[in-house]
Structure 1
């Protein structure tokens, strides 16, 4: 965290001095007025300089990135972290020799890391961000596998003429299933149960 204490004839002058030394702008800092100072007689005698402490605000994306690096290091994985911002969505791509450790079985470890990064990113941010943490293209591969599973289970529901239940999965993965079958008018999908055990049900459409 970068901060500096500065003084000036007025509070605004002290703040401006701090901004110049920190090479930043007013919107990117927090200002704590330590002493408002006073002008004194004729603006000279008995005057007292204003003193402020100016702290550069932590960039929430940088904070989340640092948090992610810390997690990977604690897991003994040397991973490169590359953030990409698109509007209010942030994707953190992980790459390295041992990133499979960060993925875990069916992405469970990666999903847990993504949840923690989401909390860190949004705890003090002025903007609410959605987050994806990916590792060596795992999310695309998982999306393809879920779409294939959706169609396979839809065919099973139609063949057996009864509802079939998928394994529990996080909301963003359930959404992939729902979207994959949205145009299939022979089945309908809905989620059932409470988190973290909420799962998708696929059932034949009425009249099929």
Structure 2
């Protein structure tokens, strides 16, 4: 239910009753006053209550889901989107009976690009920004494990050779995974160098 019509003795009373029914905050609805209250003859005969229409505005996450369906539709894909809250933001899990690999791309590059576009599309200036994270077929967790294994292997190489190891450029959220994994390593340290989009990690001895 995203639109209701409510009556009350005053416009504000009608709005309050509608908000209670919809269980949303005032800033989540658009209000249209259909009828103003009137006292009628002698304050009794023909008196009318106020009548208002409340329309729930879609939030950023609803808009993001709709945006993803439109993009997938243009690619001839039928997708399902499940939503879950995390400390880092709202994760939208994409699934499909079709080959969803086309939405993931090489090393998640397409998924990252979609995530960037979705966040830009639904962010409204002046409103609180909720970070939206896209995932598909548990790619984010699988990629995290791959990067941690890579970090462990290259840290061992740095210790064995005594030389710095320079990784290929990668996005900031992937660099963060490697930095976090190596932050307590007893023998190596990691840092980033270069400018985006060619910023890369260097692993060297402490």
State the TM-score bracket (shorter-chain normalisation).
0.7 to 0.9
The farther-off stretch of 69-78 and 119-128 is: 119-128
SS in 1 for 2:77: coil
Q: Map 1:1-208 onto structure 2 (within 5 A).
A: 2-3=2-3, 9-16=9-16, 18-19=18-19, 23-25=21-23, 27=25, 29-32=28-31, 43=43, 52-86=52-86, 89-96=89-96, 97-120=98-121, 122-123=123-124, 128-205=129-206
Deviations 1:132-183 (A, max 9, x none): 2111121222112111211222233333433222112122111111122122
SS in 2 for 1:185: coil
Contact 1:65 1:83 in 2 (8 A): no
Structure 2 residues not aligned, in runs of 5+: none
Contact 2:192 2:202 in 1 (8 A): yes
Q: CA deviation at 1:88?
A: 6.0
Q: TM-score, normalised by structure 2?
A: 0.78
Q: CA deviation at 1:48?
A: 8.6
Structure 1 residues not aligned, in runs of 5+: none
In 2, Cα distance between equivalents of 1:195 and 1:36: 58
Q: Structure 1 pair 79/169, CA: closer, same or farther in 2 (3 Å)?
A: same
In 2, Cα distance between equivalents of 1:153 and 1:87: 30
Q: TM-score, normalised by structure 1?
A: 0.77
Q: CA deviation at 1:104?
A: 0.7
Contact 1:88 1:128 in 2 (8 A): no
Once superposed, what is the RMSD of the aligned Cα atoms? 3.3
In 2, Cα distance between equivalents of 1:100 and 1:9: 57
Contact 2:37 2:49 in 1 (8 A): yes
